[in-house]
Structure 1
């Protein structure tokens, strides 16, 4: 009985290692028809006026985080360089802080 149980569990684990995790079969209909989101984008681009086309293209691009404009030194990517005192003071919270230096969210001054 123990040998049978051991064989069954070993076979189960061995077969599960070689079992396919994903099926890569593609339906013939899926190849011919583009995805619904692609159709919507194509329709929007075709029906948009020239001024709206640029707005559609701009909306599709990922929005970059705007650089902080301060007189203090910044890194190459535009973020403030925290090695300088001016940047450290600007990053301090407005209200009371906890012992570890993080803003204490119980106070309205820290809630934004």
Structure 2
């Protein structure tokens, strides 16, 4: 009886697993692709934001007067890198 029940459960499991795997119908038409070589689309992502991989979209960093840390931030120990605080 146990063998019959386990065989029946195995068949039920395998049959439900095959029905769960449905494929979407494939279209036989040609794929329509858009090119990003238009003047407005160069250097832009699909959502319209500028793509930072291109040189024209990278922001220019202002030159710092004093020494910098290894990570590129200004070293605040030096007077040239300190910002002037308002006097009261």
- TM bin (shorter chain): 0.3 to 0.5
TM-score (norm 2): 0.33
Q: Which has the larger radius of gyration?
A: 2
- Greater relative CO (CA pairs within 8 A, separation 6+): 2
